């Protein structure tokens, strides 16, 4: 297992309102559902609107940051993933 860092941004305030109606934890869980990663807590959020969410992910050794970044995400959700 290894750790990755993900930054989650929303293209517009409307995209954030449409997608992130729940708390940050639920939002991050929805974004990474079926991506073969474990979400490590805490989840950090900026005080901007829409916020930028930062999260550490734990992934199997054969899962690369690029694999997670290239995955399909909801419209208006931008995800950047880096190796720790």
Q: What is the pLDDT of residue 77?
A: 93
The pair of three-digit structure tokens given for residue 41, joined into one six-digit string = 């807590």
Per-residue pLDDT at 4 exceeds 90: yes
Structure confidence by residue, pLDDT tens digits, 11-64: 999 989 888 767 888 889 989 999 999 999 999 999 988 999 999 999 999 999
Task: Tell me yes or no: is domain 2-83 CATH 3.30.70.
Answer: yes
Domain ranges of the chain: 2-83
Which of these, 50, 47, 48, lies nearest to 14 by C-alpha position?
Answer: 50
Q: What is the pLDDT of residue 58?
A: 98
Q: What is the pLDDT of residue 17?
A: 87
Confidence at 73, pLDDT banded by 50, 70, 90 = very high
Q: What is the pLDDT of residue 56?
A: 98
Residue 60 CB burial class (10 angstroms; 0-12, 13-18, ≥19): exposed
């Amino acid at each position: 297992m290894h750790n990755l860092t993900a930054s989650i941004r929303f293209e517009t305030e409307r995209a954030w309102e449409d997608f992130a109606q729940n708390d940050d934890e639920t939002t991050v869980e929805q974004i990474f559902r079926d991506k073969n990663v474990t979400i490590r807590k805490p989840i950090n959020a900026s005080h901007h609107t829409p916020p930028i969410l930062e999260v550490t992910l734990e992934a199997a050794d054969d899962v690369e940051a690029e694999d997670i970044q290239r995955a399909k995400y909801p419209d208006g959700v931008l995800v950047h993933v880096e190796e720790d």
